[in-house]
Amino acid sequence: MTVPDPVRVETSWRRLQSITDEAATALVRASFSSVIRDFLDYACVVFDSEGTMLVQSARSTPGLLGVLPFAVPNAMAEYPMETLRPGDVLVLNDPWTGSGHLIDITVLAPVFHRDRVAGYVACSAHHLNVGGRHATIESRDMYEEGLKIPLTLLYERGEPTMVFDFIRVNVREPDKVIGDLRAQVSANALMAERVAAFMAESGVDALEPLGAEITGRSEASMRAAIRALPDGEAAAGMSLAIPGLDEPVRVELRLAIAGDELVLDYSGTSGQVPRAVNVTLNMTRSYSFYILKCLLDPLVPNNGGSLRPVRIVAPEGSVLNPRRPAATWGRTMIAHLLPELIMQLLGEIVAAAPPGADRDALPLLAPSGATPLAYCNLVGERADGSTFFTIVTMHGGMGALATQDGLSCISFPANCANIPVEIIESDAPLLVRRKSLLPGSAGRGKYRGGLGQRVEIEVLAGDLGPRGTVLAGLRGGRLGVPVRGALGGEGSFAARVELNGARIGIGSQVTLNPGDVLAFELPGGGGYGDPRDRDPRLAAEDLADGLVATE
């Protein structure tokens, strides 16, 4: 493809995209755990032989999609292509090389075409468990969090290595963990087979010419979107109260736009902390870039070219770029709030633009009660003595936009799905007593935020209950950070957790006995604009639908 033919480029690009989506579907169907099958916490990606990301699966979480463009080149540096053979499969879960915490395992494999490595495929997925201390932000370093897998061969020339054995004896629910890992291997094998077939049918020797064209298009589109914004700088910060720390964690950000380039500088952010909320640089980059892509250039497919106009700086040793062996299990408690800070600064720059500028060009959101993602890990023994490890997800409301109400009970910015009640109850001796919208939780405004929800989980008693107690690890919610409104809109409360009706903190482990009820109240999103400007018809509909608290 020496002379780019627009039709051929477009059809080839779409075919590669369909390959990652097919692999994602295969992964979900072959997976064993609800975290992949239902929560959809995974990503499938294709790279050229130089390590440039070409395409990604559409239905994936940005936390994994955003780190793979950095994880795969890191892996290539340790395992040069000339050392790889057909049937080789690599695996890693190192938070600094990979996706930021140990429970995300990345599997990657070379694509062979005409007896040479023509590219790479990678699949990263959240696993139920990798051993270590039960899920909690109380861990002080990485060694408490579980098994670390350095980049190593999972399969060598098509034969499984002893890595499977090491993993199996170190994790809770090994059948599910190993099953999910094999599903990732299968997804990669499918991608590699399809990419090689595409190259053979297209008569191309290398992916780089096509890759240069499609990444160049994405880069040009992103640069044009940045160029449409006014030049300028803005700075702000936020303080986050983390359980177990005497001082709040401070995140500082300076956003600068100059021509077709944008810089995010987190200098001044607090240093890394002895709690599992540290965010490795790959994850800081991931959620920082994600919101820029959503706001500025959402329609052009994302790849390595989209990243080039954006520079992200986070000082080494800070909570957004920690040194080993910092604990990182609960990294999203901070990482998920970065988009909120970025939107605030973009709004300030656009608002300060000279007369005549389009100040409504960006679809900015009010802060969301869905941010950061809240969920609860529960582990114990079933009556038959087998171990269960399950995840219960909860979702707050999305912030309102300048043109519409926010969405209710949505996973933003994680982009994960909801784990159905039926799955939770079939996985563990639990009863979900309630999972409902929370009236009055949405921030009022000209446009209101989406509603949050109340979730109640009971540990079953008697013959259907667990053997002994259940250990619950709580993470996320607004952790003492109430939801703000935007441009005169009202906010919402910080997340609340109750045990048998009594308020408890978030971020710590809780021991549950049979019959105990754990309840969560997630806030709604912030409102946008003055509530007095709300259309009376919309207000009447909210009242009729029971979305407004009447007390």
For the chain, 551 residues long, the average pLDDT of each consecutive 10-residue run is: 74 94 97 93 95 91 87 88 94 91 95 95 94 84 94 96 96 94 98 97 91 94 95 94 89 97 98 96 94 92 92 98 95 92 92 62 82 87 91 91 92 86 94 95 95 96 93 78 89 90 80 95 94 95 88 58
Q: Which pLDDT does position 400 carry in this prediction?
A: 95
- DSSP-derived letter for residue 45 is E
Instruction: Enter the pTM of the model.
Output: 0.93
80 cis-preceded (ω within 30 degrees of 0): no
Res 136: pLDDT: 82
Kindly calculate the radius of gyration of the chain based on its CA atoms and give it in whole angstroms. 23
Q: Which of 164, 194, 219 is the last residue of a domain?
A: 219
Nearest Cα neighbor of 342 from 259, 286, 270 is 286
CA angle 140, 146, 152 (to 5 degrees): 125
Residues 208, 60, 184, 181: is their CA dihedral positive or negative? positive
Our separate counts of H helices and E strands in the chain read 13, 20
**Last-in-domain residue among 186, 203, 219:** 219
| Preceding amide of 372 cis, omega within 30 | yes
For residue 351, count other CB atoms closer than 10 A to its CB. Answer: 13
Strands 104-113 and 159-160: unpaired
| Domain end residue (candidates: 194, 219, 244) | 219
**The domain containing residue 477 runs over which residues?**
365-550
The Cα 37–Cα 60 span in angstroms is 12
Task: Tell whether 323 is covered by a domain.
Answer: no
Compute how many other C-beta atoms are within 10 angstroms of the C-beta atom of residue 120.
32
Q: Is residue 252 part of a domain?
A: no
The verdict on residue 83 lying in a domain is yes
Q: Does any domain span residue 313?
A: no
Starting at the edge strand found earlier in the chain, the sheet holding 430-437 runs 430-437, 453-459, 517-521, 496-499, 502-504
20 lies in some domain: yes
- Of 37, 33, 57, 36, residue with least CA distance to 45: 57
Place of tokens 């295969």: 26
Contact yes or no for 107/91 (Cβ under 8 A): yes
- In-domain check, residue 260: no
> How many whole angstroms from its chain centre is CA 384?
35
* Domain assignment present for 120: yes
Q: What DSSP designation does 252 have?
A: E
E strands along 259-373, which residues?
261-265, 310-313
Number of structural domains (the chain) is 2
Helix or strand (DSSP H, E) at 497: strand 496-499
Residues in contact with 459: Cβ distance below 8 Å, sequence separation at least 6, in sequence order: 429, 430, 465, 466, 470, 512, 513, 514, 515, 516, 517, 518
User: Is 173 a domain residue?
Assistant: yes
Instruction: Identify the helix (H) or strand (E) that includes residue 163.
Output: helix 163-168
